[in-house]
Amino acid sequence: MVGEKHRLSPIEISQEEFRSLGYQLIDTLADFYNSFDDLPVTTGETPKQIQSLLGTDSLPDSGMPVSELLKSTSDLLVKHSLLNGHPKFFGYITSSPTQIGALADLLAAAVNPNVGANILSPVATAIEKQTVKWLAEFIGVSSTYGGLLVSGGNMANFTGFLAARTAKAPKSLKEDGLANTTEKMVFYCSKATHTWIEKAAVLFGHGTKAIRWIPIRDDNKMNTQVLEQTIKDDITNGYSPFLVVGNAGDVSTGVVDDLSEIARICKENQLWFHIDGAYGMPAAAIPQCKAMFHGFQDADSIALDPHKWLYAPLEAGCTLVKNPQHLTDTFSAHPVYYNFDHNADEPNLNFYEYGLQNSRGFRALKVWLALKQVGRAAYLNTIREDITLAELLFAEAKKHPELEAVSQNLSITTLRYVPINHGADESGQESFLNALNEKLLNRLQEGGEVFLSNALISEKYCLRACIVNYRTSEKDIRETIEIIVREGRKVLSGL
Ligand SMILES: Cc1ncc(COP(=O)(O)O)c(C=O)c1O
């Protein structure tokens, strides 16, 4: 009742019940983390089968006991999810999530700071600020870089894209809009760039024709000679280039573009240099990879995703900008109903002024805690081990008479199944191999022993393993080779 001293709400859980439910849930999760070796990566159930687990009931009118709900829901999730924490999960770029991240998300949700404004989240804002600073330190860019946590790679790249546009577009753009600017703004990226760039072109009003897709060379890096020439031609033809995107670990093969060459071209043409390092950027800190990333410190903005190669649970991306004023210039607004700046003995950092979100959750906590739990040295070691395992997969595929090792960069290896005595160069054979490997991938994904994804490399349909998984061991890699070959033979005999 509202009039009671302590209002009785159907939402609130009593202290004792919360304690006991929490213990039970943690017990379930402790067992879950320990059970990956006995569970399939995925059950391969169809959407229909999964739907039938939920039933077709309408929205319930009255509630249920929480204990029952948590028990049945944890059961549902543990038994029917794809487990990206499984040691043989190598699909796309989703990491085996840190356990401290799961606890951090619980803590963050319980305290529930709104990290849009400093006054609403004094400690959380300070922690996010420190997290961003540490991420910049981790990869090794100057301390001028600032930024914020976002939901992932798409948002991190969008944020950099919009900061670039504010910095380089005519100052009237904000008032007049793109449609009324006389400038025909264009931007550049390699053909290997992730699909976020198309979304940005569409959503932010440029249209996909404003994307200049630069071809890649045989080594999958952007052809920077073509880039330079295309920029020249565009300027001659009355276009206004404003941004070049370099990949630091492209989504398909993990290739890092020639960043120093892109930085030079950007400098000479006064263009914004953005790096999509959503996946690969943490590897810039590994001594053996440093040369590959040469030039990244010249970037005006960098996207990097803790939920990829820093193993944060979803969602955690980050945008770093060399001069964060460009973020405020892009996103800041001061409505009368915000009373966020009074009594500050130093200028406040209100994260709503740095990005697309207004109310913001406390994503930084899981990243900050993991950085503190693990420390830089052990993080670097783990990332390096992931690379070593990807190299092992490539080497084992190369040795195997029924496999073709196709590419290996950072922690991504691509390979395909090629039956013995198969004339891969004969006409028609390539399309046969593509069909075979596509079928094989589907079979592997449904089978649940190992989870790979695919990449199309020089028209070859390849199986792709991306190892951002601190649970994977050499044994998993060797078993993966055996599984691919065993299942490859079965698919072949069925064709
Ligand atoms: C290089 C790169 N950029 C951007 C993205 C998009 O990231 P997200 O799915 O977190 O939005 C990905 C996803 O794999 C990626 O590999």
How far, in Å, from the CA of 128 to the mean position of ligand 1?
A: 21
Q: How many CA atoms lie within 13 A of 492 on its CB side?
A: 15
For the segment 198-226, what is each residue's pLDDT rounded down to a tens digit? 999 999 999 999 999 999 999 999 999 99
Which of 432-447 are b and which e, b meaning 16 or more Cβ less than 10 Å from the residue's Cβ? ebbebbebbbeebbee
- To test the ligand 1 pocket, which listed residue (155, 191, 220, 279) has its Cβ within 8 A of the most ligand atoms? 279
Atom of ligand 1 nearest to the CA of 247: 1
Contact (Cβ atoms closer than 8 angstroms) between residue 87 and residue 469 = yes
Distance 255 CA to ligand 1 centre (A): 14
CB 456 within 8 A of CB 406: no
Instruction: In whole angstroms, give the CA distance from residue 403 to residue 191.
Output: 27
How would you classify the pairing of strands 453-457 and 301-304? unpaired
Residue 155 CA to its chain's centroid (Å): 10
Instruction: Point out the ligand 1 atom lying closest to the alpha carbon of residue 250.
Output: 1
- Ligand 1: centre distance to CA 27 (Å): 33
CB 149 within 8 A of CB 316: yes
pLDDT class of 294 with cuts at 50, 70, 90: very high
CA distance 382 to 374: 10
Model pLDDT for residues 298-332, shown as the tens digit of each residue: 999 999 999 999 999 999 999 999 999 999 999 99
Residue nearest atom 5 of ligand 1, based on CA coordinates: 153
Q: What is the predicted pLDDT for the residue at 347?
A: 72
Residue with CA nearest ligand 1 atom 6 = 153
> What pLDDT score was predicted for residue 423?
61
DSSP 362: -
**Residues lining ligand 1, judged by CB closer than 6 Å?**
92-93, 152-154, 157, 194, 196, 249-251, 276, 278-279, 305, 317
- The answer to whether 133 and 126 are in contact (CB under 8 A) is no
pTM for this model (two decimals): 0.96
Measured distance CA(153)–CA(465) in Å, rounded: 19
- The SS3 of residue 188 is strand
Supply the pLDDT for residue 332. 93
